[in-house]
Chains A and B, each alone.
Chain A
Amino acid sequence: MGSNKLSNRIRRLRFDNGEMTQQQLADRVGVTRQTIIAIEAGKYAPSLPLAFKIARAFGKPIEDIFQYEDENT
Chain B
Amino acid sequence: MSKLQKSAWFNLGLITTGSLFALLCFALAAGRIEKGFNYINVILCLIMMCILIPVIYIISKKKSYEAGFDEREKMINQRATNLSLSGLIIFLYLACFIPFIALGGGNIIKVIYLPVIFICTVFTAQLIKSIAVIVQCALEEEDGQ
* Interface SS majority for chain A: loop
Residue of B at shortest CB range from A47? B71
User: Measured between C-beta atoms, what is the minimum distance from A52 to chain B in Å?
Assistant: 13
Q: B42-73: which have CB < 8 Å to A?
A: 70-73
Contacts of A31 in B (CB 8 A): 70-72
Q: Name the segment of A2-10, A13-21, A34-42, A54-62 touching the other chain.
A: A34-42
Contacts of A47 in B (CB 8 A): 71
Complex contact A43–B140 (CB within 8 A): yes
Residue of B at shortest CB range from A30? B70
Residue of A at shortest CB range from B70? A31
Residue of A at shortest CB range from B3? A32
Complex contact A41–B143 (CB within 8 A): yes
The 21 sampled A-B contact pairs (Cβ below 8 Å) are A30-B70, A31-B72, A32-B2, A32-B70, A32-B73, A34-B2, A34-B72, A34-B140, A34-B141, A34-B144, A35-B70, A35-B73, A37-B140, A38-B140, A38-B144, A41-B144, A43-B143, A43-B144, A44-B72, A47-B71, A50-B71
Apart from A34-B140, A38-B72, list 20 A-B contacts with CB within 8 A.
Answer: A30-B70, A31-B70, A32-B2, A32-B73, A34-B2, A34-B72, A34-B141, A35-B70, A35-B71, A35-B72, A35-B73, A37-B140, A38-B140, A38-B144, A41-B144, A43-B143, A43-B144, A44-B72, A46-B71, A47-B71
